[in-house]
A = this chain, B = another copy of it.
Amino acid sequence: MDKVVEEVKGGEEKALAELLDFLRIPSVSADPAFNGETARCAKWIADTLEGDGFDARIYETGGHPAVVAKYRVSEDLPTVLIYGHYDVQPAERADGWSADPFAPYVKDEKIYGRGSSDDKGQLYCHVAGVRAHLRATGTLPVNVTFLIEGEEEAASGHFDKFVRESGELLACDCIVVSDGPMYGEGHPALIYSLRGLMYMEVTVTGPDRDLHSGVMGGIVMNPAQALSSMLGDLFDDRGSIAVPRFYDDVRPLDRWEREEWAKLPYDEAAVAKGIGVSTLAGEEGFTPLERLWGRPSLDINGIWSGYTGEGSKTIIPSKASAKISCRLVPDQDPDKIAEAVEAKLRAVMPEGVTLSVTRMPSAYPVLLPSKGWAMDAAAEAVRGAYGVEPYLIREGASIPVVHTLAATLEKPVLLMAFGRISDRIHGPDEHFHLEDFRHGMEFSARFLKEVAKIRG
């Protein structure tokens, strides 16, 4: 292993130079004006892996192309599939960047540029980790498949369909997803669960036009009032979601989970202060981490009705709308939750208005095995690369593709993030700490070795 670790360090300069080239490509997936750049970026990463000896192919998915690159050492060795994405969030200098977001640079031990942490930098940890083996031994200790998509930031569904239809192409023994932040700075976690998502837009309609509140106020149900009241009824006074059947399928937290999470460093007052509120809120009877990771939530993401300009206008609005979403936990089903929320809204809707509901794309919650050989291999690699024992946690956010990968390939998925919460992903001056880059490269190199040790 020492030789491989040595080669991680030896390859760092080249890896960094290449990563900067990778970051120079404005592979923005949400804006069709950049379709030429996403195609160029897919070709760039495919060519790079081809240069390392991979059999790299570009697949048209109907959206931005996907790259599948395979390095097959032997049929007898296990195969590790590494997932990442080459597309990035939109970014313009005017958004508040200190420099052109696609002119990356290193300053104060950090790599600055759009995609540096999300996700090109994290993907490059694996590229460099694999390469260290090739430099040290001329081969790999396991078979490796890179699966690199181009529409993670655009959620168009093409890639999801591609995965579901490519079970054979992507067959493997375990899957590694590196996208997101560590639990603590410099202290990685192994993540075994993600929340899912239900999203809907609702519109309450009253009169067929805005009315004069002097002429009609007091005899017409006001849709903004009706919607407010209906949304208010979605919670009880203990912070629980007051929707019948909502909690029916929620898998109770295991005792070990609550015990482990209670040991994690978490400063509730500091979190509140960090977002500018006097106190955290939420469901009674659960700690903040339990509420974030193990309990479903409901949020109003937007609401609009009537006159919203300067000054006063005395109307009774014709319509009122809201966007409502739920983060879901195992074993909740987004469709059943959407039905339950809609049924509750209809049950409390006053007379004199009507309700229409439009559902948006959803995501299933994910519960992965919290134990097993892949977890063991990752934990050992964390010990080696970071010198700490990894936390074992869940996550509150959703990564829809994880559910698809797990369901299609039916193999352990390892969620192993290399970034930090403070990396400003999706914001201006996104960056990736060189220390995290180095740790990630070493983790990747060590992980492949550990897999070979356990399953080789």
Binding site for B on A (CB under 8 A): 195, 197, 199, 201, 206-209, 211-222, 224-225, 227-235, 271, 275-283, 288, 291-292, 295-308, 311-317, 320-323, 325, 327, 350-354, 360-361, 395-398
- Docked CA distance A303–B304 (Å): 5
**B302 and A397 contacting across the interface, CB-CB below 8 Å:** no
Q: Which residues of chain B are near A281, meaning CB under 8 Å?
A: 219-221, 350-352
CB-contact partner of A361 in B312, B352, B397, B398, under 8 A: B312
**A30 CB → nearest B CB, Å:** 11
Return A429 CB to nearest CB of chain B, in Å. Answer: 15
Contacts of A312 in B (CB 8 A): 199, 201, 301, 323, 325, 360-361
Nearest chain B residue, comparing its CB with the CB of A316: B299
Residues from chain B with a CB closer than 8 A to the CB of A360 are 311-312
Known contacts A235-B229, A281-B351, A353-B277; A302/B297 CB under 8 A: no
Given contacts A195-B214, A217-B327, are A313 and B306 in contact (CB under 8 A)?
Answer: no
- A sample of 16 more A-B contacts (CB under 8 A), given A213-B301, A303-B304, is A199-B314, A208-B275, A211-B275, A218-B282, A218-B296, A222-B300, A225-B232, A225-B234, A232-B233, A279-B351, A299-B316, A301-B317, A302-B307, A302-B315, A307-B323, A312-B323
- A302 x B317 contact (CB < 8 A): yes
The answer, among B228, B307, B327, for a CB contact under 8 Å with A232, is B228
Bound CA–CA A222/B232 (angstroms): 12
Is the CB–CB distance between A275 and B217 below 8 Å?
no
Decide if A224 touches B303 in the complex (CB within 8 Å): yes
18 contacts between A and B (CB under 8 A): A199-B314, A208-B276, A212-B397, A218-B283, A218-B297, A218-B327, A225-B234, A225-B300, A228-B229, A229-B231, A277-B352, A281-B352, A299-B314, A301-B314, A302-B306, A302-B308, A303-B308, A303-B320
- Residue from B212, B299, B327 in contact with A222 in the complex, judged by beta carbons closer than 8 Å: B299
Chain B residues with CB below 8 A from A352, complex form = 277-281
A388 to chain B, nearest CB (A): 23
